[in-house]
């Protein structure tokens, strides 16, 4: 699988190790930076680059890393077509894919050990979307809102 990855200084060392780790596991990794350590760099350009890469590369997934993962998730989600999920345990990693068909995982390098983060990312990358109708309907509602600023299908909004 092709994996787009990016971080600022907070996850710089971790990202470099993850690139090697994911490559060893057979993934094709596209590194959107940071490519050198800069304690004053800003995460949004790296995270939006990951999001743009994922949207332009059908079937790929993305990983954004920060200190907490919060801002990185917000930045990635500004890219139309990105469904970035902040993941902090195994359940959130699995459910992000199963229920939300998330295409980007956001993790906090300062919140977990490296082994824990590797496990969360591995789970996320391996888990498929369930394809259940109710989940797809909800994803479609979010996409419709993203596209139009509203829910123009009264049957879809709030349907059980």
Q: Known catalytic residues?
A: 72, 99
Secondary structure (3-state) at 81:
coil
What residues pair up with 3 in beta bridges, in sequence order?
Answer: 29, 61
Look up tokens 């350009």; give the residue: 45
96 burial (CB, 10 Å; 0-12 / 13-18 / 19+) is buried
**Is the CB of residue 105 less than 8 Å from the CB of residue 66?**
no
Query: How distant, in Å, are the alpha carbons of 23, 25, 70 from that of 82?
Result: 23, 25, 15
Number of CB atoms found within 10 A of residue 150's CB: 9
């Amino acid at each position: 699988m092709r994996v787009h990855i990016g971080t600022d200084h907070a996850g710089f060392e971790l990202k470099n190790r993850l690139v090697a780790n994911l490559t060893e596991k057979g993934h094709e990794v596209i590194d959107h930076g940071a490519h050198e350590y800069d304690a004053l760099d800003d995460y949004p350009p790296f995270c939006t680059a990951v999001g743009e890469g994922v949207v332009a590369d059908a079937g790929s997934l993305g990983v954004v890393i920060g200190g907490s993962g919060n801002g990185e998730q917000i930045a990635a989600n500004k890219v139309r077509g990105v469904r970035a999920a902040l993941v902090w345990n195994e359940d959130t990693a699995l459910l992000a894919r199963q229920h939300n068909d998330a295409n980007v995982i956001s993790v906090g390098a300062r919140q977990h050990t490296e082994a824990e983060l590797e496990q969360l990312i591995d789970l996320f990358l391996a888990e498929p979307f369930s394809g259940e109708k109710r989940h797809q309907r909800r994803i479609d509602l979010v996409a419709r809102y993203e596209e139009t600023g509203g829910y123009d299908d009264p049957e879809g909004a709030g349907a059980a």
